Each structure stands twice: as structure tokens, then as C-alpha cells.
Amino acid sequence: MGMPPTPPRPLRALPQLLPAQAGPRVLTLLSLPRSNSPVPTLQEDTDSDGEEPQLYFTEPQQLLDVFRELEEQNLSLIQNRQEMEETLEELSHTLKHTQIRMDREVNQLKEWVTTMMMSITKEEDTAAELELKARVFHFGEYRGDQQDKLLQSLNRKVLDVYRHCVSTQQEANLGTVQMLTVIEHQLDELLENLERVPQVKIEQVERAKEKERRIRLREEKLQMQKILQEERLQRARARAQAEIKKNRGRTLVRRSKPPAHKIKQESEHMLMDKEKEELLFFFT
């Protein structure tokens, strides 16, 4: 007689999972409807050798760990997606601001180019005028003494500008051209420093200078009115202190013009009557 078959082992019941412990996928799996098909027994699954098949999950905690790991991966992917959306939004915002800034800089550069072209045109006109004057000097249109006077006057003006803008004391052995070169370098440095100054400060200085100019003009106007009033007072005082001259004798009167003779103008009707009388007198 053979050995009696071993009875199948009863499956251990899974512990009841709380909704707080299980993830969304676990709740979805647990909420699926149960089928009425009979659960296959171990006896049907056993092979011909009678060995019991091994289960993939030996404990319920392993299944929970797998679901928890999947849930963590899902949350990690969602978080990565949100971070990528934030990064994309920041890049779009940065690109927009960069585009606006570049457009503003391009417009500013265009304005600078226009200003430089106008300055170049003005300098070319000045150079042409100076070239014409140089040719006139070269051909002897001006005399030598006039040229010397013009050069001396130019030297005095350049020296005055040099003392006011660069240095109060003239350096030794500096000619007119050298002083002009120093003044030009000083002007370039001032223009470069002016470009670095904020626009707000420039506007404040301009408003202050405009206010000073108005105050100065008002003071000059008041001073001029005061001078005019003093002159009027002096003239009135001089008239009051002057000796009164009394006219003696008969007052001289200008001779009247003789009356003009009026020429009588006969009407056309009278002329016609006179012609008729002459015709009757001579031809009758």
C-alpha cells in the first residue's frame, strides 16, 4: 500500500491593511471585485514529484514594501516633473527679460550710432571749412600781419581755456597745439566719466544748474531795472536842477503855404454842347 497523500497546508490570511498604511495602488487592488472562481489548491499545483511550489511573497510586509517603493518612485517622478516645470518657467522668464534688455540695448546702440553719424558729419563739415581756410591762407589771401594777429588771438583764447579747464599755471614749453591736445584728452576723460554717472544724478545736476541760471537771470534783470531807474532819476534830477530859460519876444510861427488853385473840370455834357455851337457857327 502506498503512502497516503499529505493534506494541503492552509494559507495564512493576510493582515488587514489600514488605508493610511497602504498606498493608492494598494487601495486600488484591494477595491477590485473578487471573483467567485474557486481558489486552486496546492494539491492541484503540485507536480508529479509531490513538491510544494514556493510563493514569491512569503510575508505580507514584502508586498507592502513593493507598493511603498513604487509609490515613492511615483512621488519622485512627480517631484522631478514639478521641478522641471519650475526650471522651464524660470528659463522662460529669464529669456523674456533678456530679450527685453537686448532690445533696449539695441535701440540705445542705434541712437548712439545716429548721434555718432551726426557728429562725424559735423566734424567733416568743420574739417572742410578748416581746409578751405588753410587753402586761403596758403594762396596769400591774408597778409602776414593779419595772420600773426589771428594766431596771437587764437593762442590767447586757447591759453584762457587751458587755465580754466586744466591747470591755472601754464607748463613750460607748451605751444598752442600741445595745449589743444591736453584740452582734448581732458574733454574725452570728462565724457567717459559722464557716461558712468547714473541718469538720475545727471538730471538732478541739470535741474540745479537750470535753477541757478534762472536765479542769475532774475538778478541780472533786477540789476538792469535798478540801473535804468537810477538813470531816469539822474535825468529827472538834472532837468530839475537845470536853469529855466524864458522865451522873450514874439513866438516864431512857420509861414503857411499858399492856397492851391482849383481847376474846374467841365462835364462831358458841357463839352458836347460847346462843340455843337462851334459847328453851327462855322458851317452855317
Q: Where are the domains of the chain?
A: 56-141, 142-167+183-196, 199-240
Q: Whats the size of the chain, residue-wise?
A: 284
Query: What pLDDT score was predicted for residue 199?
Result: 85
Q: Whose CA is closest to 160, among 150, 173, 170, 174? A: 170
Could you tell me the pLDDT band of residue 33, with boundaries at 50, 70 and 90? very low
Q: What is the distance between the alpha carbons of residues 182 and 161, in angstroms, rounded to a whole number? A: 11
pLDDT tens per residue across span 190-243: 888 888 888 888 889 889 999 999 999 999 999 999 999 999 999 998 888 887
Lowest mean pLDDT among 66-70, 153-157, 259-263: 259-263
DSSP 3-state helix, strand, coil percentages of the chain (rounded to 5)?
65, 0, 35
Q: 3-state DSSP call for residue 168?
A: coil
- In the chain, the amino acid numbered 13 is A
Query: What pLDDT score was predicted for residue 8?
Result: 42
**Mean per-residue pLDDT for 107-113?**
92
Q: Write the burial class of residue 180 (CB in 10 Å: 0-12 exposed, 13-18 middle, 19+ buried).
A: middle
DSSP state of 19: T
Query: What pLDDT score was predicted for residue 190?
Result: 86
Q: What is the distance between the alpha carbons of residues 113 and 109, in angstroms, rounded to a whole number? A: 6
Query: What pLDDT score was predicted for residue 140?
Result: 56
Query: What pLDDT score was predicted for residue 15?
Result: 41
Q: What is the distance between the alpha carbons of residues 42 and 36, in angstroms, rounded to a whole number? A: 18
**270 vs 172, more confident:** 270
Helix residue ranges, H only, the chain: 24-30, 42-45, 60-138, 144-165, 176-196, 199-241, 268-282
Query: What pLDDT score was predicted for residue 40?
Result: 43
